[in-house]
Structure 1
Amino acid sequence: MERFCFCFDIDGTLYPSNHVISKRTLETIEQLREKGHKIVVATGRNLSSVKESGLLDQICFDALVLNNGQCVLNGKHEVIYTAYLPADLVWQVIDVCNANKLVCSLETLDDWFCVQQPNEYVKITHEFFRETAPSQGEYNPSMKIIMAMAYAPKGYDYAPLKEIEGLNVDIGNSCYADLGIKGFHKYKGIEKCLDYFHLTKTVCFGDGRNDVEMIRQATIGIAMGQSVDEVKEVSDFVTESCDHDGIVHACEHYGFI
């Protein structure tokens, strides 16, 4: 049987609206593992956030694709690949956020902090992710920053940040946008996993705007039922919603279980 690398987004894909992964989904993922497939999480979250989410206590992942593909760890959380934001790009993000009265946070491999005093949008965002919000800290250019986040009201277009050359702005589902290196996306991290595992084919599940390239480039790209239209348009299959065992339904549809 041909082996695939199965890659799962977290929020809206593994975690439904009640933030409890269904028993059927957990059983399905374990069946995939028993058949020899590799199980990978592919998320915009950093390692600290994934740990706090409790996900790693429920699923044993063969690799973690974090920070929208800019950080890749193996199952032992050893670094396979990292791409750091250049210091001048970090300073531009900080300066633009200061000029526009925005708060931004900076993420290292295992920690993060807000450059400005955290505000209500920081609180709302990290309540959305059900995690502890980063506290205020000070940026030092010697720090290895993997990704940043900016916080603003829902509907904000982050236009000042989009003007920064070399910066990718992924607007999230709450009061935030992920800020990374232009041209990076989850599938670039997944490609590092394929090399690491000596595999060639992927099955990817996602629902948000930062999943578009992952779903587009996957061997089989699967959009959760509640996905944004951009994800559905590039997918090979639109499954049931996360709240209705969409992962299970898709794996049954393709005969993986």
Structure 2
Amino acid sequence: MDKGTTVKAVFFDIDGTLFSSRTRSIPASTIRALKHLRERGIRVFIATGRSINAISHVQHLDFDGYITFNGGCCVAKDNSVLFKQALDPQDIQQLLHYTSNQPMNFSLMYLDCHFVNQATPEIIDMYAYLNLPVPPLVDRNNPDICNILQANILLNVEDELEFMNKIMPNSIATRWAPHSADINPKGISKKVGVEVFCEHFGFHISETMSFGDGGNDIEMLKHTAIGVAMGNATDDVKAAADYVTDDIDNDGIWNAIRHFKI
């Protein structure tokens, strides 16, 4: 896309894009960039693997909508749910059966609550990184397997393909960390969330822009008219983007907006 092209909507990942894991804060230049976009009449959206209840550290910045669970649930500014798709119950049943005999950490995420299968040091560290309390343990004797919007599994990359094909064949895995995979229904990605909000507000995809740094951002970056990878993004994310900006702690979002004269 040429510089100066009209942008009406910008979608932002949170961790590593809006929120710095190093400083545990949102850079001042990012806050300035969001203010600049709103003053230009451009709508701004969150696009995250988190749930709507796990983004309080950024919600005060006044977004126009939220793509949560990597596109599995889209929530409007007034908290109304515009779109929702749960994981296949059979996949969840097979996950519970498999992990009854295998040492594997996972969490199950519903619209308004999370559960973990065990509170191991790895689980505790993961939720500490996300700045969230460790959820309660799942009730294996009477689980609700029909309304789970996302699972998160601590799973090595080299084991992912075999596990997904064998245990959760109706789901897809994407990564935001080397040893952790988000599990969503097949066909769901942040791209789906972008489409939901384009339809809701009447945008065309040619009027959209997105920012991300992790594997779960790739489909979104490729789909929007301008896909921007943060300088701290992984190589596969950078390869999928139209433009690579500076990292989050070096004014990456602000510099990209200036580069495209938005």
Residue 198 of structure 1 pairs with residue 234 of structure 2 = no
- In structure 1, C-alpha distance between the alignment counterparts of 2:96 and 2:18, rounded to whole Å: 33
Shift of 1:161: 2.8
TM-score (norm. length: structure 2): 0.90
- Tell me which of 27, 36, 44 is aligned to 1:39: 44
- In structure 1, C-alpha distance between the alignment counterparts of 2:176 and 2:259, rounded to whole Å: 29
Higher alpha-carbon deviation: 62-71 or 86-95: 86-95
Deviation sequence 1:169-207 (CA, Å, 0-9, x none): 123316421111122111111110110110012100001
Runs of at least 4 residues of structure 1 off by over 4 A? none
Shift of 1:106: 1.0
**What does 1:52-67 correspond to in 2, within 5 Å?**
54-57=57-60, 59-67=61-69
> CA RMSD for the aligned pairs?
1.8
Deviation sequence 1:131-182 (CA, Å, 0-9, x none): 1121212253365111111125x66633453223111112331642111112
CA contact (8 A) 2:49 2:69 kept: yes
Residue in 1 that maps onto 2:242 = 236
Residue in 2 that maps onto 1:124 = 125
CA contact (8 A) 2:88 2:171 kept: no
**What does 1:96-111 correspond to in 2, within 5 Å?**
96-111=98-113
Flag the 1:127–1:175 CA change in 2: closer, same or farther, 3 A: farther
Higher alpha-carbon deviation: 228-237 or 140-149: 140-149
CA contact (8 A) 2:71 2:191 kept: yes
**What does 1:3-152 correspond to in 2, within 5 Å?**
3-16=7-20, 17-51=22-56, 54-57=57-60, 59-114=61-116, 116-138=117-139, 140-141=143-144, 143-152=146-155
- In structure 2, C-alpha distance between the alignment counterparts of 1:242 and 1:96, rounded to whole Å: 39
Deviation sequence 1:28-81 (CA, Å, 0-9, x none): 111101211111000011122213xx1112x10100000010000001111010
CA contact (8 A) 2:211 2:229 kept: yes
CA contact (8 A) 2:222 2:240 kept: yes
Unmatched segments (≥5 aa) in structure 1:
none
- Equivalent residue pairs, number: 251
| 1:228 partner letter | T
- In structure 1, C-alpha distance between the alignment counterparts of 2:128 and 2:178, rounded to whole Å: 10
> Percent sequence identity over matched residues?
27
| 2:32 partner letter | E
| 2:238 partner letter | K
- In structure 1, C-alpha distance between the alignment counterparts of 2:158 and 2:24, rounded to whole Å: 26
| 1:18 partner letter | T
CA contact (8 A) 1:106 1:145 kept: yes
CA contact (8 A) 1:125 1:174 kept: no
- In structure 2, C-alpha distance between the alignment counterparts of 1:132 and 1:119, rounded to whole Å: 13
Unmatched segments (≥5 aa) in structure 2:
none
Any idea what SS the aligned residue of 2:137 has? coil
CA contact (8 A) 1:149 1:177 kept: yes
- In structure 2, C-alpha distance between the alignment counterparts of 1:85 and 1:49, rounded to whole Å: 19
Any idea what SS the aligned residue of 1:158 has? helix
| 2:30 partner letter | T
| 1:10 partner letter | I
CA contact (8 A) 1:63 1:74 kept: yes
Any idea what SS the aligned residue of 1:191 has? helix
Flag the 1:98–1:176 CA change in 2: closer, same or farther, 3 A: farther
Higher alpha-carbon deviation: 11-20 or 245-254: 11-20
Flag the 1:228–1:131 CA change in 2: closer, same or farther, 3 A: same
- In structure 2, C-alpha distance between the alignment counterparts of 1:159 and 1:101, rounded to whole Å: 18
**What does 1:166-205 correspond to in 2, within 5 Å?**
166-173=170-177, 175-200=179-204, 201-205=207-211
Residue 254 of structure 1 pairs with residue 257 of structure 2 = no
- In structure 2, C-alpha distance between the alignment counterparts of 1:67 and 1:26, rounded to whole Å: 24
Deviation sequence 1:93-129 (CA, Å, 0-9, x none): 2223333221221111111111x22211111111111
TM-score (norm. length: structure 1): 0.92
- In structure 2, C-alpha distance between the alignment counterparts of 1:170 and 1:157, rounded to whole Å: 13
